[in-house]
Chains A and B, each alone.
Chain A
Amino acid sequence: MLKKNIWMIVGCLSVALFNLSTGWAGELKVDLSAYDPKTLVFVANKDSSDVAVIDTKSDQVISRIALGDFTNPHMGMLTNDGKKLLVTATGRDRFLIVDLASQKVEKSVRIGSSPEHFDLTGDDRFAYVGAIEGATVSVIDIKEGKEVKRLAGFFEPHGFSVLPGDAKLYVSNIGAHEVRSIDISSQQMVKRLAIGDVHHAAIREPERYMSDLKGIANPTPTIDGKFIYAADGDAGVVGIINTQTDRVVKTVKVGESPWRAYASPDGLYMLIPNNGDETISVMSVKTQEVVTTLQGGSKMTGINFTQGGKKAYAISQGDSAVFVYDMQTFKQVNRLKIGGNLSLETAATTADGTKIYVASSTDDSVYVIDSASDRVKRIADVGRFPWAVTILGAASPNYCH
């Protein structure tokens, strides 16, 4: 009798186990402390309000960190010790400090309206967070998990760069044509520096400049921290600031509507994508001049370097493609068509400089480019609307847009 009923018994046990399993279903999570944080990719997903963690060895999503409803994260960054993940929660006007061991938000700091970008001092002590709509910059004490100061009077503070040595912070305003330097020891603004001379063109076309304003997206430091390159979108110039004297020492004409400068990790060049004429200006850091102009793509959102700066990858959102350049011959060596009608966002280069991870918001994916072969692999279902990618110790400076 038992033999005859064996299948019935198995079937019943299966029913029981299924009911149990659906009730006890949990989130995808592994213990991140088992991983070297430099081998992990953190992807901020705007619409699913979480951060996906990808293992670069397997190219799999190994964990998701929930940030809370409606947080709509914009940018993430790891502390230099690899223990915390810092995230701007644009939707909730918060700055989140996530403990990576527990993968939970341990501090949620209320700051200005619509925070987006930020930077962190090298000693992991302070984060400087810009509130785009609030027009403020919040100084966050990471250890205490609270806002210690709020600087006001900015015009859409968009780009942040802490100099090596943590002496100064530079903040660029995308709603104006100026960069500000902040002294970190006193947490006070030292100088406001005007970039470009847009009023000349504005005299002839006032309507254009009163309807849209493209200011300065980012103050990009040279690798040695001696100069800041600030591209002004309306003026079509790059202003070079001496960080020791806080003076604009040179203004160089580049292409139309430059976005921002990206520093090659070998310290030799600054690449500036010009979205007005779809070119890329290559500036020599030594001579502070444009040495060549490359043909780029439409709506470039970022440039990543691999192999120590020998190759450059320009992310073209408009073309859903990545343009690849040899930085020794300054020639385009490849055009990687990632897909159709994709919105490529930001990218990050692994610490060993061999792979690039590109977020694609419209198909909820991250694309992995192997720098040696230029082969592209897709990691699907990363989260809803992946926006920003960050890797600790990335071989090419991390960025956001």
Chain B
Amino acid sequence: MKTCGESVVNWWIGVLILFIGIVIGTFGADAVVAEEREESEPVLSERVKAIEERLDKLDRVDVIKKVNEYVCPDGELYDSLPAGGRCPDGSLPEDRQTFRKIPFSRRESLSEKISAALEEAESKRVTIGGSARGILQQPLGSRMDEKLFGTGSVDLFFLSKPMTASIFFVDLESIGGRGPDEVVGSLSRLNTDAETLGAGATDQVKVREAWLYMRLLGDQVKVFGGKVDLTNYFDRNAVANDETTKFLNTALVNNPLLKQPPNGPGAALRYEPGKDFGMGVGVQSSNNSGATIAEKVYAVAELDYHTHPFSSREGNYRLWGRSARDGATLEKRSWGVGISFDQEVHPRATAFVRAGIGKTEGEEKKAYAGSVGLELRSLFESAIRDRIGLAFSCQVDAGISENLGEGYYHHYLTDRLAVAFDLQWLFTGTNEITGEKNRNIVIPGLRTTVNF
């Protein structure tokens, strides 16, 4: 049996041991608390900073705006008209509206609502764009009078939307100068720009195109009417269809046997059901006098097929036929049939072929034309938009034959300024001015283009 004294001792021992345990534990906890206290100030400071950063977000709102965009057939979109008023492949962009969610601060969103009302009125006005070009060429050959020829032109484009799903387009052109065919007299024509001047003229200001475009039947039918350039809609080609950015020689801009009249009163209708096939018909006055709109017209029709036959690379295949009258007398009839193919063969290369056959009333022999070429893109990492074009053309018409090659390098200095180095080699041909043979005439050229 324990004595009273032993019990007291045991009790005190127990208390002592408990006290020691509590002290040890408290020291340890205190150490943790002290460490937490040392951390808490930077943590609080960081939290305050985080909250301050979030205050700015409370001021933000999103506003959905209706805006205009320009969409090319391949889906590429622009907020404003692309340079030159056309897509990179030469086609016309579709002007349409879309919706975008745009972030604003609350203060901005109020002023946005006010300016939206002003923008609504603004959208009904005319959009203006343009481009300016200068071309220098010098024919070099043993019999050539090696003069330097230059042409300059300025185009002003006006676009407006008189109603939904329509565009009214006007192209005013001022052009001056002379091309090298003044001395070379080639069949294929060495400067397409200079050809618009017509014989004998050196300066001209004119309405190059003025037409109304409408989309019907859910965008499947497109109608153009007015003063038209039918080559915008027929015999097109992804790499050989634009003298302002690609080949200069007329035989490499369009098939020479298309024999389209100068821009004049006409209409074109295209049916594109949205799949791979398309078709079009066009009529135009045989000259630009406007006196023969309904009779002795130039007519053309075309079937198109767009596909991806090789590893999903895009290809366009066109077959056209036309009926025409000579522009001067409107008496002689002629007809022609041709093809225009372009096929992407590599992510950076597209090949093209054109060919045609035609006949004119009163002439015994048929006329033939063919061209083949290649466009190379993005060859240099520092200049991914630059292009190189190489092509060969041969043509036989009215007993005259001509073979020609052309190469160019189109370099973008800025988004709106480009320079192209061009070289044409007229292998054989006949000089229509002197009647002599053209052999191995080299025509280096320089083209500068500014878009605005």
Contacts and interface: CB of A to CB of B under 8 A. Distances in A.
Given A24-B32, A92-B50, A199-B97, A245 B75 contact: no
B76 A193 contact: yes
A186 B384 contact: yes
B350 to A, nearest CB: 10
Contact of A175 (B21, B47, B102): B102
A8 B99 CA distance: 79
Given A69-B47, A199-B96, A247-B75, A8 B14 contact: yes
A195 B60 CA distance: 27
B111 interface: no
15 contacts: A16-B21, A19-B25, A23-B33, A91-B54, A175-B62, A186-B381, A193-B77, A194-B69, A194-B75, A194-B76, A199-B96, A202-B97, A226-B312, A244-B347, A247-B76
Interface stretch (A209-217, A349-357, A378-386): A209-217
Contacts of B17: 5, 8-9, 12
Interface string A235-248: 00001011011111
A176 B98 contact: yes
Interface in A1-36: 1, 4-5, 8-9, 11-20, 22-24
Contacts of A9: 17
A22 B36 CA distance: 13
A257 to B, nearest CB: 15
Interface of B: 6, 10, 13-14, 17-18, 20-22, 24-26, 28-33, 43, 46-47, 50-51, 53-54, 56-57, 60, 62, 64, 66, 69, 71, 74-78, 96-103, 164, 218-219, 308, 312-314, 344, 347, 381, 384
A70 B308 CA distance: 51
Given A8-B17, A176-B98, A198-B98, A245 B29 contact: no
> Taking chain A's interface residues, is the majority helix, strand, or loop, or is none over half, making it mixed?
mixed
Contacts of B47: 69-70
Contact of A19 (B24, B50, B51, B384): B24
A198 B98 CA distance: 7
B18 A177 contact: no
B313 A133 contact: no
A249 B22 CA distance: 78
A245 B313 contact: yes
Nearest to B69: A194
Contact of A156 (B28, B74, B75, B101): B101
B21 A13 contact: yes
A171 B218 CA distance: 29
A191 interface: yes
A135 interface: yes
Interface string A57-70: 00000000000111
Interface in A239-268: 239, 241-242, 244-249
A4 B60 CA distance: 73
Contacts of A177: 98-99
Contact of A5 (B10, B56, B98): B10
A155 B74 contact: no
A202 B57 CA distance: 30
A69 to B, nearest CB: 5
Contacts of A192: 76-78
Pick the most buried of A9, A133, A194, A226: most chain B CB atoms within 10 A of its CB.
Answer: A194
Contacts of B71: 194
B10 A19 contact: no
Contacts of A364: none
B28 A19 contact: yes
B50 A8 contact: no
A114 B57 contact: yes
A194 B100 contact: no
B18 A133 contact: no
A328 interface: no
B127 to A, nearest CB: 17
Given A69-B50, A198-B98, A20 B10 contact: no
Contacts of A18: 25
B412 to A, nearest CB: 13
Contacts of B21: 12-16, 19
Given A15-B21, A69-B50, A176-B100, 16 more contacts: A20-B25, A68-B46, A70-B47, A113-B60, A175-B62, A175-B100, A176-B101, A190-B384, A194-B69, A194-B71, A194-B75, A199-B97, A212-B64, A227-B312, A247-B74, A249-B308
A198 B314 contact: no
B100 A213 contact: yes
B31 to A, nearest CB: 7
